[in-house]
Amino acid sequence: MRVELTENRGRLAKRLQKITGENVMLCYQCKKCTLGCPSAYAMNLKPHELMRALQLGLEDQILWSGIMWICLSCETCNTRCPQDINILKLIDGLRTYYFHRDYYNPVPELPIMHRLFLKLVRRFGRIYELGLVLILNLKMVNPFKDTDMALPMFLRGKLKLFPHRSEGARELRMVMDRLEAMEEKT
Partner 1 sequence: MRYAYFPGCSLSSSASDYDLSLRTVCRALDIELVEVRDWVCCGASSAHATSHLLSIAMPVLSLSHAETDGFERLIAPCLACLSRFKVANREMQENPEVREKIHRALDYQYRATVKAYHPLEVMMEEEMMEVIRSKVRKKLSGLKVACYYGCVLTRPPEITKFDICEDPQSMDSIIRVLGGEPLDWSYKTECCGVSMTLTRSDIVLKLSNDLLREAKEVGAHAIVVCCPLCQANLDTRQLQIEDKYGVRYGIPIIYFTQLMGLAFGAFPKELGLEKLITSPRDALEVCGLM
Residues that bind partner 1 (CB under 8 A): 19, 38-39, 41-42, 70, 72-76, 78-79, 86, 92, 95-96, 99, 107, 109-115, 117-118, 121, 125-127, 129, 132-133, 136, 140, 145-146, 148-149, 152-153, 156-160, 164, 166-169, 171-172, 175-176, 178-179, 182-183
Tell me the CA distances in angstroms from 175 to 114, 132, 168, 182, 183, one per residue in order: 18, 22, 11, 11, 12
- Alpha-carbon 149 to chain mean position: 25
Question: Over the range 44-81, which residues count as b (16 or more CB within 10 Å of their CB) and which as e?
Answer: ebbbbbbbebbbbbbbebbbebbbbbbbeeeebbbeeb
- 51/56 with CB nearer partner 1: 51
CB of 133 to partner 1, least distance (A): 6
- 11/160 with CB nearer partner 1: 160
CB of 9 to partner 1, least distance (A): 25
CB of 61 to partner 1, least distance (A): 20
Q: What is the distance in angstroms between the CA of the first residue and the CA of the last residue of the chain?
A: 37
CB of 159 to partner 1, least distance (A): 7
- 1/182 with CB nearer partner 1: 182
CB of 25 to partner 1, least distance (A): 21
Q: Which amino acid is at 89?
A: K
- Please count the CA atoms within 13 angstroms of the CA of 95 that sit on its side-chain side: 20
Q: Which amino acid is at 124?
A: F
Q: Which amino acid is at 30?
A: C
Q: CB–CB of 107/65 below 8 Å?
A: no
- 56/62 with CB nearer partner 1: 62
- 6/106 with CB nearer partner 1: 106
